Amino acid sequence: MPHRLLLQLRDLACGYHGQQVVQQLNLHLNAGDIGCLLGPSGCGKTTTLRAIAGFEPVHAGSIELAGEVISSPGFTLAPEKRRIGMVFQDYALFPHLTVLENIAFGIRKHPERERIAAEMLELVQLGPLGKRYPHELSGGQQQRVALARALAPEPRLLLLDEPFSNLDVELRRSLSHEVREILKSRGTSAILVTHDQEEAFAVCDQVGVFNNGRLEQWDTPFNLYHEPLTPFVASFVGQGYFVRGQMLTPDTVQTELGVIRGNRAYQWAPGSAVDMLLRPDDIVHAPDSPLRACIVGKSFLGAATLYRLQLPTGTRLEALFPSHEDHRIGEDVGIQIAAEHLVAFPAQGSIATQQARAEASAQL
């Protein structure tokens, strides 16, 4: 069965206060899919969301919803006429209304508003709490109410702006999975804005990585991780470091870690300088290996420990070792490359600059 296109952004440019923030943006979302705008603070993802909602005009290009142009230069269909729902970071619930009254607010004139509000309350698993007020609920419960209120009018598209950022880590994780199940159960199309890639991957079918107002890649989480199109996407999505190398053959690279062969081929000429991405799961502990590294940092993750390693040349790497292997900082360990899938880009700048960028991306 072919996918039905719901949302189309064509060569979009938008911003605010006369400042152009987003440029040449192209993406599409199929009906029933959940998309994500992912990137560091200030990259343009929230500006894009506001333009889709109708809160910001567009400077160039167009936004189409279900085949209808809803934004273009000089034309902005009013937000209330777009049938687009919105879930905000701060929940935006009315403190003087009960939970049920909050949910029914957007469908006040609907003849079956009470039935619909009750169904939405059950959908978000808050059935017994309909008569409570927002201040009597936890943060996670308030966010469920906000979601139910946004879904009650049956929007064609739901927009979620950093909806879990005010919650603690465990609640964010569990609620993000719940929200995906709720949206999928209703076939609701949605776009989520976040800077948290774990959240993006848990909730969304398609993810767009933004960088300085430009969309660098719109793809599935799997492809973003394994087939990044740019060095920025490679370093921002998933942890990893770049290692300078030289192409020997289309699928073989000579590096300070030795010759590394992958299962894909590049078209660059032999001898070309490249930066090869190595993720923590590409490096394994091998006690008898002649390839040695010094442990300069560690983070216990439960089932595994993430070690930050430094080679004798000063190159930094990260590796995941089983958590029962407890190594101390400063210890010399043997490592081995277990990468079958090579991700490489033409060499750009110094490797120290590449490492700094990878470290900065990992901290976002």
By C-alpha distance, which of 33, 60, 38 is closest to 49?
Answer: 38
Mean pLDDT of 342-353: 80
Task: Tell me the helices (H) and strands (E) count for the chain, helix number first.
Answer: 9, 21
For residues 283-304, give the mean pLDDT.
Answer: 95
Nearest to 30 by CA among 117, 130, 156, 152: 156
Confidence of residue 285 (pLDDT cuts 50, 70, 90): very high
pLDDT for res 360 = 54
- pLDDT number for residue 359: 56
Contact between 318 and 283 under an 8 Å Cβ cutoff? The reply is yes
Give me the pLDDT at residue 356, please. 57
- Gap between the Cα atoms of 345 and 283, Å rounded: 19
Residue 134 or residue 167, greater confidence: 134
Query: What is each CA distance from 32 to 28, 46, 174, in whole angstroms?
Result: 12, 21, 21
The pLDDT value recorded for residue 14 is 95
What are the structural domains of the chain?
A: 5-226 (3.40.50.300), 239-363 (2.40.50.140)
Distances in Å between the Cα of 160 and the Cα atoms of 41, 82, 146, 315 are 16, 16, 10, 40
Query: How big is the chain, counted in residues?
Result: 364
Q: How far apart are the first and last CA of the chain?
A: 39
Across residues 83-112, what is the average pLDDT? 93
Whether the predicted pLDDT of 2 surpasses 80: no
Q: Say if residue 230's pLDDT is above 80.
A: yes
The pair of three-digit structure tokens given for residue 1, joined into one six-digit string: 């069965």
Convert 242-293 into a string of H (helix), E (strand) and C (coil): EEEEEEEECCEEEECCEEEECCCCCCCCCCCEEEEEECHHHEEECCCCCCEE
For residue 34, report the phi and psi dihedrals to the nearest 5 degrees: -115, 120
Q: How would residue 264 be classed by pLDDT, with cut points 50, 70 and 90? A: confident
**pLDDT at 75 (0 to 100):** 97
Token pair, residue 360, equals 């900065």
- pLDDT value, residue 16: 82
In single-letter form, the type of residue at position 224 comes to L
Could you tell me the pTM of the whole model?
A: 0.88
Q: Give yes or no for residue 165 having a pLDDT over 90.
A: no
Residue 134: alpha-carbon gap to chain centroid? 29
Backbone φ and ψ for 186, nearest 5 degrees, come out as -100, -5
